[in-house]
Structure 1
């Protein structure tokens, strides 16, 4: 007998999505009818999993809370519960400002949420999830928290210190996901590079990925968010030698000038960064590198920005994300620096970098025309099937538009000959 319908709505990153999937499973085990990001208004209970990373994300979270408060006032829902990063970061303020919410929770208060719904928390199934992604890929979160304390980042405030999960528990979860039909695992954490140090006394990322690669039926393992400082170089051998570890690495560099790296507290120099990028490409020929850069951080001069543009032009990254600095309260930068780069200049610099990267991406894509690539089909649209190569992660990277054919199925791999390209996407036909 069902106990009511719960709609969990997730804002923010894939790490939040994993938390929501865990909670969905616990509620399902207790007999609730559960949906995720449902646009229908027939749920009895809404649990909003918020993001509190930067200003835009905080505004989206607050607006979503207020929208559901309005639904509650109109009698469309009976109960509204708010969890996640924003809720953890500003819990007391939110309780005062938006008392219509039944309860605000921290980021990891799964057990309290379940208890407040008069349900049981199944400890042995803590990491079991009801997946919200397509059946053929899933995220695997290997740790929580972060010990880095970069000047601009508030994340350690609400995630706490770095806590690795054991290799054994991750292998067990991964095995279960593969048995359920998952063919691609996206390995995520706030900081992959630190994995294992807190638990084993040394980095265990390479060992973990090598053991995951032994799982039969797992065709792609993709790595996200490796911190460049003290990067575990033994990982490169695993990427190079294991066929099912994608030639792909997401390594957020944030900047390149020594002045900005110092002010950002990145614990790495320009020379060390360049040496690392070259080492990665030397050890893993043809690897696709994704990175992110932050512009407009306090103290960033025109010279710093020019240095960053020169770096991007020279090193030709496959994928680049750019963010304008957000002056987040209680961060080191907020306390120690004046927010001295005007907002319009931040936006101008971000747009200029993205325009620069667009040209680089277009050129790199043109070089793939005529080649045959392994492509995983994610979905079907009106005119195309849409897939990805090993150089592309879901939602953040480019895609491959594949001509319609009866033989193609979503969730399967195909050899696709690339016939054309755009700035960010490829076009091809299944062989």
Structure 2
């Protein structure tokens, strides 16, 4: 049999860090089936655009990325049937380039949230995309790309509300989500069994748990895994960047019914990953150079309810923080109404967890929050922050707020402003409301005029910039722990514990002339004294290295597992591979 010709693919990632994980799943599937991953879309046969479908601006960015990839085709090349290979598009994992002499990409394919949400409608209105594929196409992504290049693209799906695809009962849903013919949940990476059981915080083996995968086992399985593009039972993960800050999925989907949000309709109901899957992936990521794990989901505080243990996250976090090589674990997407006192205590008192709360307040007026189908208000939120700071006075706290929601009055805006003035948050995202089709809010009475929405957004944004800059200035004179992400020109760049990378500002560390003994490298955790602030960004003077990259793995028996986290080998199902703990021991 003649060898299959080389095929090149560029991955373009838009949107949130959850999409980054999904792209790395797709990359692993494609690499396992012989595709060469390229960084520049001008060098690819196919460009895979992982789209975002959250709000109008994100959807526009996704369409622009698809059009940019299409523009790279050679002259006269209108699709897979005519043209040669080439590459690139904008975004994570690939960058926009000029068409090469070989003719540019022959296929442009949309995946991700926007593709899942609109399916055939997007395909009909955007002929520049040769295929629009939903989440359930991911297990056979290689075969689908081959078909597109051969001129026989798979039909686009008709979107369905993915909340209807699994049982209503959370516990029943957890089992059903792992059945052979269940809907595909992107980023829920499943691993082969074997290796050692990670200990519980007291050092004893965890009860009711199956072994987590050892890095050496992962390296062994890599050579015998079923090709991911041909419908393997599980999937691996292939890192697309070398950043020491890496997202790790806790769960997917959401059971809340916020009136403004369409995400549950295309991401589905909440499904938690089993703790041993999360732990095994964390170990593998540490072996690949990860130093900070950012735990992502649609709603992290719901983790474990479908595993029969509402305190699953409280039990999992200390075990993640104990993974060799990991110096910081950060949990994001916390729902204030579900943040139990015991979970708050674990988040803010466990060594190795970031001194940080990412709290989705959305507003502070109780009346607006009720119309949003949310809970709480200014008094409740300030009390939550007070209790949090009693546990950890210098914690970082961030949130997002929406202004101009239907029915919002000037009095409601005043309540929000007063809350922000007293909350002392480190970072705040301010968004003007816009209708999302299919949501309850789109049909509500009392829509605010768009010009008034923009006026309110600008007013609150100006206030937030002043407040967060003042918060940063009050950190001058304090010592922060900075995870170094770049070193250049006598400076180290990264984030302190109260800063989430790419979201909450950053920290520039001035290194000593000639460098400290042993130098400073990407992935090092360093101590630095804050000497100045520019907005939310800090400038600090180096005082010492707290933990060097690679040092934590030296005694852990780390084996080089390569750059791909392998799938479950042929014949091993997800249930057999990781067991089914009744909770998290």
- Cα deviation for residue 374 of structure 1 reads 1.4
Cα drift, residue 271 of structure 1: 3.6
Contact 1:134–1:378, Cα closer than 8 Å, also in 2: no
Q: CA deviation at 1:254?
A: 0.2
1:112 maps to 2:140:
yes
| SS of residue paired to 2:72 | helix
Q: After superposition, where does 1:240-259 map in structure 2 within 5 Å? A: 240-259=348-367
Task: Show structure 1 runs of 5+ residues with no match.
Answer: none
Aligned ranges 1:357-372 → 2 under 5 Å: 357-372=464-479
Asked if structure 1 preserves the Cα contact closer than 8 Å seen for 2:13 and 2:20, the reply is yes
Q: Report if aligned partners of 2:41, 2:47 keep a CA contact under 8 Å in 1.
A: no
Cross-structure match for 1:63: 64
Residue 220, structure 1, aligned to residue 328, structure 2: yes
1:88 corresponds to 2:88: no
Contact 1:236/1:284 (8 A) holds in 2: no
Q: Name which of structure 1's ranges 201-210 and 153-162 shifts more when overlaid on structure 2.
A: 201-210
Cross-structure match for 2:37: 34
Which residue, out of 347, 350, 355, partners 2:462?
Answer: 355
Residue 283 of structure 1: which of 374, 378, 391 is its match? 391
Superposed displacement of residue 398, structure 1: 1.3
Deviation at 1:318, TM superposition (A): 1.2
> Are 2:522 and 1:410 equivalent residues in the alignment?
yes
Distance 1:101 1:197, change over 3 A: same
Secondary structure at 1:262's aligned position in 2? helix
Cα gap change, 1:344 to 1:73, in 2 (>3 Å): farther
Aligned-partner SS, 2:429: strand
Q: Deviations over 1:61-81 (max 9, x none)?
A: 112222223334644111111
Structure 2: unaligned runs, 5 residues or longer: 78-103, 147-226, 544-585
Please give the alpha-carbon distance, in whole angstroms, between the structure 1 residues aligned to 2:290 and 2:136: 25
Per-residue Cα deviation, 1:103-124 (whole angstroms, up to 9, x for no partner): 1111453113233245634746
Aligned to 2:493: 386
Q: Is the 8 A contact 2:483 2:494 kept in 1?
A: yes
The offset of 1:131, in angstroms, is 1.8
Q: Judging changes above 3 Å, is the alpha-carbon distance between structure 1 residues 387 and 360 closer, same or farther for their aligned structure 2 residues? A: same
Give the greater-gyration-radius structure (CA): 2
- Offset of residue 237 of structure 1: 2.3
| Bigger shift: residues 216-225 or 408-417 | 408-417
8 A Cα contact 1:142 1:188, kept in partner: yes
Is residue 175 from structure 1 mapped to residue 176 from structure 2 by the alignment? no
Q: Is 1:420–2:532 an aligned residue pair?
A: yes
RMSD between aligned residues: 2.0
Q: Deviations over 1:140-178 (max 9, x none)?
A: 111111111101111011101001100111011111111
The question of 1:79 aligning with 2:110 is answered: no
Q: In structure 1, what is the Cα distance between the partners aligned to 2:265 and 2:490?
A: 46
Distance 1:34 1:213, change over 3 A: same
- Pair 9,232 (structure 1): closer, same or farther in 2 beyond 3 Å: same
Q: 1:111 to 1:125 in 2, by over 3 A?
A: closer
**Residues 49, 82 of structure 1: 8 Å contact kept:** yes
CA shift, 1:381, in A, is 4.8
Counterpart Cα distance in 1 of 2:231 and 2:490: 44
Taking a change above 3 Å as real, the CA distance of residues 100 and 427 of structure 1, as seen in their structure-2 partners, is: closer
**Higher mean Cα deviation, 299-308 or 368-377?**
368-377
Question: 1:3-38: CA deviations, max 9, x gaps?
Answer: 311001011110011100111112112221113xx4
Which residue number corresponds to residue 98 of structure 1? Answer: 126
Worse-matched range after superposition: 135-144 or 199-208: 199-208
- The one-character-per-residue Cα deviations of 1:203-254 (angstroms, maximum 9, x if unpaired) are 4211111221221221100111001112232222222332101110101100
TM-score normalised by length of structure 1: 0.94
Q: Do 2:365 and 2:378's aligned partners in 1 also have CA atoms closer than 8 Å?
A: yes
Displacement of 1:195 in angstroms is 0.6
Instruction: Return the alpha-carbon distance in structure 1 between the equivalents of residues 245 and 262 of structure 2.
Output: 29
Matched, 1:430 2:430: no
CA distance 1:343–1:307, shift in 2 (3 Å):
same
Q: TM-score, normalised by structure 2?
A: 0.70
Q: CA deviation at 1:287?
A: 1.7
Aligned with 2:26 (options 23, 26, 46): 23
Tell me the distance in 1 between the aligned counterparts of 2:309 and 2:244: 34
Take 2:501 and 2:459, find their aligned partners in 1: how far apart are those partners?
A: 25
Please say if 1:5 is aligned against 2:8: yes
Aligned pair 1:319/2:322, yes or no?
Answer: no
Q: Which has the higher contact order (CA 8 A, sep 6+)?
A: 2
The answer on 1:395 being equivalent to 2:502 is: yes
- Relative to structure 1, the CA distance from residue 199 to residue 225 in structure 2 (aligned partners, 3 Å threshold; closer, same or farther) is same
Q: Secondary structure at the match of 2:37?
A: strand
1:311-330 CA-partner distances (Å, limit 9, x unpaired): 00011111111111111111
Among 251, 273, 276, the residue aligned to 1:143: 251
Shift of 1:125: 5.4
SS at 2:355 equivalent: strand
C-alpha spacing 1:80/1:220, structure 2 compared with 1 (3 Å)? same
Whether the 8 Å CA contact 1:193–1:203 is kept in 2: the answer is no
Determine helix, strand or coil for the equivalent of 1:77.
coil
Structure 1 range deviating more: 143-152 or 269-278: 269-278
Task: Choose 325-334 or 267-276, whichever is displaced more.
Answer: 267-276
**DSSP 3-state at the match of 2:71:** helix
